[in-house]
Amino acid sequence: MNYLILVRHGQSKWNLEKRFTGWVDVDLTENGKLEAEKAGSLIKKKNISIDLYYSSLQLRAKNTLKIIQKVLNDEKNFTKNWHINERHYGALTGLNKVEMSQKIGEDKVHQFRRSWEMKPDPLSKDSPYHPSKIETYKNVPKEKIPDTESLKDTYERVIKFYDEEIKTHLGNKNILISAHGNSIRALCKFLFNLDENQISDLEIPTGNPLMINIDNKNNISKCEYLD
């Protein structure tokens, strides 16, 4: 039996400003850095040696992982991959969630954020927020860069990465993944066999490690948030 630990990055600057972030590459706030330190301390208390580390390409996830590794005194190289990036919010990117709720209604904003197949209008390729304009994604194949995504779209790319990269190591290695609310939500849907309604209600807190006991046949015996 080994461990799969999922950590949503600490609070980002756009989390604080309540903006739809998606693929925009914003960094952690000071509070987000403290959340990452706390996550590292909670993992350290479990006296678990991590064999493999993974992160999205995004700064907030990478820096969360680096802080966790520093706390664990384990700065081995980690794998960075765009498949576990946050969901792309299309034309909502950069907009304030509270202001949008006032403009189009809370129910509509909730649908955009949590419905399984609904996706916002595409983000213009001329926008400075479009991933093709962001240096972080220069090595992502152009045909793979989205203009918008639904949660279903996010799920499909996350689980593709899980099947190809993560799955073979489960039960043999302790793995830590630093990612995002929607990419972790997608993994939880798959691992816990959640339906589309259950996944829409699942909250993923920032900087709080979710520790899953899992064997090499993908059987889960225990799952808990560390505190």
Q: What residues are labeled active site? A: 9, 86
SS3 for the chain is CEEEEEEECCCEHHHHCCECCCCCCCCECHHHHHHHHHHHHHHHHCCCCCCEEEECCCHHHHHHHHHHHHHHCCCCCCEECHHHCCCCCHHHCCCEHHHHHHHHCHHHHHHHHHCCCCCCCCCCCCCCCCHHHCHHHCCCCHHHCCCCCCHHHHHHHHHHHHHHHHHHHECCECEEEEECHHHHHHHHHHHCCCCHHHHHHCCCCCCCCEEEEECCCCCEEEEEECC
Phi, psi of 17 (to 5 degrees): -85, 0
